[in-house]
Structure 1
């Protein structure tokens, strides 16, 4: 069964987010093609889950995108593409889609649907994603995102230096290193375009 989570952002309760995370997706090329063709049934932010560090990382981008939609400041086609753009540390829309959007080879997908209409519900999103995403549904949690994320790639995208290597384990980051990286990323996203 698909695990769609409904998230209501503070101050934006009228625009719920429906979020699903999928491992080992077999049809990324199909999903990407639907986006390229402008198929309105597939109006989602389909993201490469390996470049999302945490829930807060994604939710900060969603908050900015919805605020930009409500203020008529969208720089892309719709609120879903604006979520992808909001993740970027710079103002290059094409680059943000290459780095954060779904590619034909994407194996782990994060799908976000903004409830902009009353007919968009958790049930309708769940049904649609169950019918069209060929992958294993997993919880939208920090633990899942940590498991799927490529921290070295995320650091490269945001130009964040790596923490000094520890004596016991030089390959994994401590919780405080990850929190520091998350703060750096969200700060970078917030400052873009200001």
Structure 2
């Protein structure tokens, strides 16, 4: 399923299409299409293990769309700008290495921004057109783009590494516990607050 979203405070003609897949078997092929500049694969392909929540990704989508409508894109297009906006630094290549798909990505989120003012009548830019293309191109299981799914596939230590967030030290007298790789709800919430702050500060200094 592809979800069509209209983000608050953005023009109504802008729509964000989001799909997520698990057990992906052809990430290397998808990445090669991006590297080759194949325009039929003009999407933001993101490794879901780097995404904490819907809010985390949609924050990047909002900033990318806002930069698009104000002609402030730093990358080639609004799709690549979404990947860039996930980063806390101004290195576009580093953003793609950290958040984009790799050859062995298994859980991915795919995002496309549609502008009906520019693409009116383009059947490839409808929800059904995007869904048909992705389901025919991605060898994986289409799943709901939900916080519950992201909770299962996000690797919290990878998120900490990407944003240079230190792991908290256990309280004095308590032993560190090897919890699961996804972290507790409180731990994830604390990390997300820091992540969103770092994303907002990118380029401000």
TM over 0.5: yes
- Aligned partners of 1:82 and 1:64: how far apart in 2? 9
The structure with more radius of gyration: 2
**Secondary structure of 1:35's match?**
helix
Contact between 1:44 and 1:113, CA under 8 Å: does it hold in 2? Answer: yes
Contact 1:32-1:102 at 8 Å conserved across structures: yes
Which residue among 132, 135, 138 is the counterpart of 2:137?
132
Match of 1:123 among 112, 125, 128: 128
Match of 2:4 among 3, 6, 22: 6
Q: CA RMSD in A?
A: 1.6
Please state whether the residue corresponding to 2:14 is helix, strand or coil: coil
1:17-96 maps to which residues of 2 (within 5 A)? 17-96=16-95
**Cα offset, 1:167, TM superposition:** 7.3
1:176 is displaced (CA, Å) by 2.3
1:185 aligns with one of 189, 195, 203: 195
How much does 1:170 deviate? 4.4
Q: How many residues align?
A: 192
Gaps of 5+ in 1: none
Alpha-carbon deviations, 1:61-86, whole Å to 9, x = none? 00011111111111100000000110
Q: TM-score with structure 1 length normalisation?
A: 0.93
Alignment of 1:154-169 (within 5 A): 154-165=159-170
Unmatched tracts of structure 2, length 5 or more: none
Moved over 4 A (4+): 164-170
